[in-house]
Structure 1
Amino acid sequence: MKKRVLGLLLIIFTALLLTGCTLSLRAVEPYQSPTPYEQLRIDMIATVEPSVVVVKTETGHGSGIIFKSEPVQGTSLTRYYIMTNFHVVEDGGEMTIHFGKDKVDIPVKDYAGYKLYDIAVVRIETDRQLRVHPVAPINNNTITEIIKGQDVYAIGTPQEIDKFNYVTQGIVSLTTYAYNGVAGLAIMHDAELNPGNSGGPLFNLNGDLIGINVAKVASVSSKDGTIAAEGLNYSLSINKIAPTIRSFNESSYTAVVRRPRLGITVQEVSVFLEQNEASLLPPNPVGVVVIGFDLTRNAHEVLEEFDLIIEMNGTAITSIADIAAQLEGAEFGDPHVLKVMRKVNGSFVEVTVTIELS
């Protein structure tokens, strides 16, 4: 049987050689758009997207856009300005700017805002080179034309961080509309928005920033009762908010107070096992599971995802409250010794690490 199969393969290979065919793999050819319109959209999104970020807070996240930069005097750092919504940063506590997968978050240094317009600017300082999207109404005190029916594109991160820079498309439905009781503050459009899109940019097909996404109408009343609304989305008009953004000066900014932390996100075992395979933890697990990291702090250097914290500073850990108790009165630089159960080559081993609060 083996001889027959080998003989058949030899015949096929010989036929390929005689016909000039090869068995080499061909490289995938670059996508060629069938229409100039689609290519324009693809190119526009590729150009503007690097300036769109996530604004992460202690209470959730929103979206934002980098619109200005300047050198930090006396250092090699650059200061970047990021527009978002006021309701994203209000009572947000510590904040970081997230740039997508495999990139370290950068802590927010300070922020300014105007609640009535629901607009805010957060600032970061870094030696990384980030993409800045120029905004003519802010930089040049000009007006960007907004026309009913023109295509618009909302970019932001709805729901969860894994939907980083999600894009939705629509048209301008109304060029001017009242929002927060302010006439003409908003544009209405049907590019779908969801929680997490707040503070993200709204672009036209030229890549001009025409609005900052702020809210959607979730439901409307009708003769049949309350029904889900569709395509009723608000963005703050860049022409309306630009003077306010320009008015922010150094005295407008409030410093974000950074508190000492371990830099981990944890989950109770019972909650973790509702959403994950039991094989990720040892049998009969007791402790708290590490499910994420703040990469601006130190824990990610010594802990791993799905580590089961079983002891901290000699005290058994059975709940998140136990960890919180160990951190009462914490100060920067305080060392904390953690024992974890970690899966290594299919088996669970006990690992001891020391983390200094940062």
Structure 2
Amino acid sequence: MKTLFRSLSVFVALLLTAIPAFAVPDFAELAIRLKPSVVNISTSKTIRPQRPIFPGQPSPYNEFFEEFFDRFFRGQPMDRKERSLGSGFIISADGYILTNDHVVDGADVIKVRLSDGREFNGTVQGLDPKLDLALIKIDVGQEELPVAEMGNSETLKVGEWVMAIGNPFGLEQTVTVGIVSAKGRVIGAGPYDDFIQTDASINPGNSGGPLFNEAGKVIGINTAIVAGGQGIGFAIPINAAKSIIPQLRETGHVVRGWIGVTVQELTEELAESFGLKKARGALVTDVEDDSPARKAGLQRGDIILEINGQTLENLSDLPRIVAALPVGAKARMTLFRDGRTKEASVTIGTQDRDQQPAKREVAKSKNLLGLSVIDITPEIKSRYRLSVEKGVLVAAVEADGPAAGTLHAGDVILELNGEPVESAAALHALLGNSKSNQLVRLLVQRRDQTLYATVRTR
């Protein structure tokens, strides 16, 4: 028995030595080293309430309220101060600090408190509302401040340890730790959604603070939380910030690349209708006149698969990749058109508007479609305030028909499977070639948006 016990002990010892130890960073050492580069930010702005005057046509109530406010509030301060808290981190020894745009947006006064308790007035040097970033500056004279070293968020892996330092609920220099829960999260925050998700505790007041990796380098800027959620916080990847900091510092704003397309997410059914084996890339629904995309020959119905060798796995990849390209640079695009891939070269222009994806309206579409349609006449165009000259107006959709939930009264059908639809007769003729349970692709104008939808005939 003793021999057996010794043998088991030796076996267990050998087994334990063969299993690599689960290395946990020295968080205490990291906190001591990193906290001096993190700042707490408090702001205040003046909110000036509007008098309750009725808009539109002149009203006797307007005069009454004017008299009421003059009589009872004359000489009394009616403005109020709104205060907020946030965090930030020092990116250069001479006092430049990175934080969120929403932390300092509209602030009259910005106070920056260092880890040693000293407080400085901050001034805004640059803002980027689309990425929710702000660059502020404090005057420290000849002193050199401790700087947070920036890392590489591209090499970050799910499961890695991370540490957040910030000012949650006004509790200065709070340290929390966790792991990277996911990458590339799209949370509807804007055209450049690409967030790091972490379970390190992030709360109001952490906004603008750094997310460090276990090497003590900043790999994200803490920005958002899920209301009512626990262990779900989001950070902007530091690589997205690094690419725009020089512009914020030099000009105070950001100029991004732009090509002039409106795009829509590609579903499996849309991919099938275009002959693409896998749903990936960005589906072009509109190409703006005199835009870089128009000059490069892009067309409605093209599917953008790659830009400069970078694969577009989904819709959100397009605005992020294009925005990062220098204005005036040539970009190689791989497109899918008419069942085959082709190359195009586009010169990146200056973005002067948001590249918002077309609203996703995808479902399934004898009278195979269950629609009542009418031709667009000058009278119909005027009555319904349509912006298109050709197509057919959807007057009604059968409640239990194939297009129910996909098309709506007021939509204008422009194309069916790539063929123009210029009249109700043309639509019925095109549908006459369709079989039962066949997937058809429609190009639809809905208010000020153009989008594709698929419907399966009955």
Please name the residue that 1:83 is paired with: 98
2:102 match: secondary structure? helix
Alignment pair present for 1:123 and 2:123: no
Contact preservation (8 Å) 2:212, 2:220: yes
Contact preservation (8 Å) 2:41, 2:112: yes
Question: Matched residues in 2 for 1:183 and 1:107: separation?
Answer: 31
1:44 match: secondary structure? helix
Q: Deviations over 1:207-251 (max 9, x none)?
A: 1101000110013xxxxxxxxx22111111112222122322333
Q: Deviations over 1:186-211 (max 9, x none)?
A: 10111111111110000111111010
Q: Greater relative contact order: 1 or 2 (C-alpha under 8 angstroms, separation 6 or more)?
A: 1
Please name the residue that 2:162 is paired with: 152
Please name the residue that 1:249 is paired with: 249
Structure 1 residue 169 displacement after superposition: 1.1
Q: Mind listing any 5+ residue stretches in structure 1 that lack a counterpart?
A: 1-34, 70-78, 138-142, 220-228, 254-358
> Which residue, out of 79, 88, 102, partners 1:64?
88
Alignment pair present for 1:177 and 2:191: no
> Which residue, out of 109, 120, 126, partners 1:106?
120
**What amino acid is aligned across from residue 49 of structure 1 in structure 2?**
K
2:243 match: secondary structure? helix
> Which residue, out of 170, 173, 194, partners 1:165?
173
TM-score, normalised to structure 2, is 0.40
- Following superposition of structure 1 onto structure 2, how do residues 294-305 of structure 1 map, counting pairs within 5 Å? none
> Which residue, out of 92, 110, 123, partners 1:95?
110
Judged with a 3 Å threshold, the aligned counterparts in structure 2 of structure 1 residues 117 and 243 are, in CA distance, closer, same or farther, namely same
Please name the residue that 2:230 is paired with: 230
Contact preservation (8 Å) 1:68, 1:134: no
Structure 1 residue 136 displacement after superposition: 4.7
Alignment pair present for 1:51 and 2:65: no
Question: Matched residues in 1 for 2:103 and 2:118: separation?
Answer: 21
> Which residue, out of 142, 147, 150, partners 1:132?
147
Judged with a 3 Å threshold, the aligned counterparts in structure 2 of structure 1 residues 200 and 237 are, in CA distance, closer, same or farther, namely same
The farther-off stretch of 200-209 and 106-115 is 106-115
Contact preservation (8 Å) 2:126, 2:135: yes
CA-atom RMSD, angstroms?
Answer: 2.2
Percent same amino acid at aligned positions?
A: 32
1:241 match: secondary structure? helix
Question: Matched residues in 1 for 2:151 and 2:203: separation?
Answer: 27
Judged with a 3 Å threshold, the aligned counterparts in structure 2 of structure 1 residues 36 and 158 are, in CA distance, closer, same or farther, namely same
1:126 match: secondary structure? coil
Question: Matched residues in 2 for 1:175 and 1:217: separation?
Answer: 16
Larger-gyration structure (1/2): 2
Contact preservation (8 Å) 1:81, 1:124: yes
Question: Matched residues in 1 for 2:130 and 2:145: separation?
Answer: 30
1:88 match: secondary structure? helix
Judged with a 3 Å threshold, the aligned counterparts in structure 2 of structure 1 residues 239 and 184 are, in CA distance, closer, same or farther, namely farther
Contact preservation (8 Å) 1:184, 1:240: no
Question: Matched residues in 1 for 2:166 and 2:247: separation?
Answer: 26
2:95 match: secondary structure? strand
Structure 1 residue 184 displacement after superposition: 4.8
1:206 match: secondary structure? coil
Judged with a 3 Å threshold, the aligned counterparts in structure 2 of structure 1 residues 51 and 36 are, in CA distance, closer, same or farther, namely farther
Question: Matched residues in 2 for 1:144 and 1:185: separation?
Answer: 11
Judged with a 3 Å threshold, the aligned counterparts in structure 2 of structure 1 residues 248 and 157 are, in CA distance, closer, same or farther, namely same
Aligned length: 193
**What amino acid is aligned across from residue 203 of structure 2 in structure 1?**
N
- Following superposition of structure 1 onto structure 2, how do residues 324-339 of structure 1 map, counting pairs within 5 Å? none
Structure 1 residue 87 displacement after superposition: 0.2
Alignment pair present for 1:190 and 2:199: yes
Contact preservation (8 Å) 1:153, 1:169: yes
Question: Matched residues in 1 for 2:250 and 2:118: separation?
Answer: 27
Structure 1 residue 107 displacement after superposition: 0.9
Question: Matched residues in 2 for 1:151 and 1:136: separation?
Answer: 14
Question: Matched residues in 2 for 1:96 and 1:36: separation?
Answer: 42
